[in-house]
Amino acid sequence: MGYAIFCTAVKVPQCGIGTIAVRSAGIYGCGQTCHVPAMTHPVILPLWAFVLIVLFAGVTFASHFLFPSVRWFFRKRAERVIARVNTRLARPIEPFKLARRYDMIQRLIYDPTVTQAIVDHARANNVPENVAFEKAKSYAREIVPGFSAIAYFSVGMRLARYLSNSLYRVRIATYPRQELAELDPNATIVFIMNHRSNMDYVLVTYLVSRAGTLSYAVGEWARVWPLSGLIRMLGAYFIRRRSRGDLYRGVLARYVQMATDAGVTQAMFPEGGLSVTGAVKPPKLGLLNYIVSNYRPGGRDVIFIPVALNYDRVIEDRFLINADKRGNRRFRPPTLTVVRAVGVHLWARITGRFDGFGTASVGFGHPLELSLFLKDRGPLDGDPTSLVAEELMARVRQVVPVLSVPLVARLLLRHDALTQASLLGHMTACLDALRSREMPLPQRPAAQLLDEALLRLSDRGLIAVTPDRILVTDTGRDVLAYYANSIAHHFDETPMQVLSAPVLSKSVT
């Protein structure tokens, strides 16, 4: 075994008080005896013990001297970033979001409402209260984000802007500028959105970046390392959509209510998940109920802003369609499939063959002020959450943008074997009818929209374009129905069912 110091020490009384006679261990072969002061004599240590001592000393130095200085340095830097950013934001970052994550967790688990939920859980499940407390604490750690202004604006915003503009042609379909400009600056803003794609998070974050920071409720799919850490730094909080435990719901509800009371700008998907049919689904009341039930007249107002998204191409469309066919909501793609798709996409970019996924459009609806809505309805029997949710989803549906691919998909499924000229006539008539109802429409000419939509659909093998007619292929019907469903409500139509049966074989061409 190696040693830190290779010598031996022997006490020699004749040498006098306070000295040690040290004899060489024979390494140099001198065999001489020397006298050294007692406080400076060598100490023999195994190498592993020496390494441990140095390691513990380094950790102690870092934790007591280095880390506090580093934390102070980054804290001051973050404060400067926040002060600079707040001058550009319409709604400055709330102090609630800037609190340390540890402090927020402590504040949450010692909240009287959560404390009562812990006691109730312990009694109902016949477990000690300290066990229930630890469970609530683990829920709080799972839910509470760790917002970082530097990560949000240095990484999150740049990444959101790059992804949005590199994948799509981003357009704002409707924006009630005057109404949004006159909103109460002290009210809590909650964006209520339909959920078409995981790009929804990225797109809306990018579009509202000049107004303020958003706090999302993110599902369990993102609770994987290292994505979970990044999402927390961007201010999102995790929710278990399938959890039915009262204790978990109590902790989650109280966090949402605390954030709302503190004025944190939030974004929610009331549908509870991605739409597997393409249509806007009925709302689930969970998160909305936490906010509405906590509102008290005279307190901080809550303003809901409806936001509707639509795409010429949803990246996950085939996975969602297959999930609908299976009758479940499990549509996480295999890792190998994702890697292959990313590789194909990167190769298309390198070779210059990628020209984007078309248009991604966002419509902002008329805001709903919770105080005025409840006041206009008068005294209500029971919880008003369902009324608020129905009104919000109606406003979301009203501003879903009509894009070229969904419109062409609808026409191809409604009319058999159209020629391009007749398809253009139907498309022009639809656009004129929607324009008279002030629906959010694309601004380009109908002929240009049609050419682009046909090119995108034919490149994916969803349609076959011949000189005399346009046919839907075997694999095209389900996908076209998915896109047509996104705008079916504008025509007062029932969303089409996704079927596995083909309309026409591609071999017809």
What's the rounded Cα separation, in Å, for the pair 111 and 471?
62
Please give the average per-residue pLDDT across 93-120, as a whole number: 87
Regarding whether 269 and 170 lie in a shared domain, the answer is yes
Query: What pLDDT score does 501 carry?
Result: 35
Domain CATH for 251: 3.40.1130.10
Total domains in the chain come to 3
Please give the average per-residue pLDDT across 240-262, as a whole number: 88
* Percent with pLDDT over 70 in the chain: 81
212 lies in some domain:
yes
101 lies in some domain:
no
Query: What pLDDT score does 42 carry?
Result: 79
Domain CATH for 447: 1.10.10
Regarding whether 213 and 180 lie in a shared domain, the answer is yes
95 lies in some domain:
no
Q: How confident is the model at residue 221 (pLDDT cuts 50, 70, 90)?
A: low
CB 164 within 8 A of CB 362: no
Radius of gyration of the chain (CA): 32
Regarding whether 472 and 389 lie in a shared domain, the answer is no
Regarding whether 285 and 373 lie in a shared domain, the answer is yes
Q: In this predicted model, what pLDDT tens digit does every residue of 454-472 receive, in sequence order?
A: 999 999 999 998 888 999 9
Structure tokens at 433: 């009818």
Query: What pLDDT score does 24 carry?
Result: 42
Regarding whether 177 and 198 lie in a shared domain, the answer is yes
CB 341 within 8 A of CB 430: no
Q: How confident is the model at residue 136 (pLDDT cuts 50, 70, 90)?
A: very high
What's the rounded Cα separation, in Å, for the pair 88 and 290?
31
> Prior bond to 306 cis, omega within 30?
no
Regarding whether 493 and 439 lie in a shared domain, the answer is yes
Domain housing 456: 404-508
Which of 496, 476, 477 has the alpha carbon at shortest distance from 485? 496
The pLDDT of residue 505 is above 50 = no
107 lies in some domain:
no
Of 5-19, 48-62, 395-409, which one has max mean pLDDT? 395-409
Query: What pLDDT score does 509 carry?
Result: 28
Q: How confident is the model at residue 37 (pLDDT cuts 50, 70, 90)?
A: low
Regarding whether 220 and 366 lie in a shared domain, the answer is yes
Burial 118-141 (b: 16+ CB within 10 A, else e): beebbeeeeeeeeebbebbbebbe
Regarding whether 481 and 431 lie in a shared domain, the answer is yes
Query: What pLDDT score does 504 carry?
Result: 39
Regarding whether 368 and 477 lie in a shared domain, the answer is no
Please give the average per-residue pLDDT across 227-237, as a whole number: 72
Residue with tokens 């005896």: 33
What's the rounded Cα separation, in Å, for the pair 102 and 107?
9
Structure tokens at 467: 């000189």
Query: What pLDDT score does 331 carry?
Result: 65
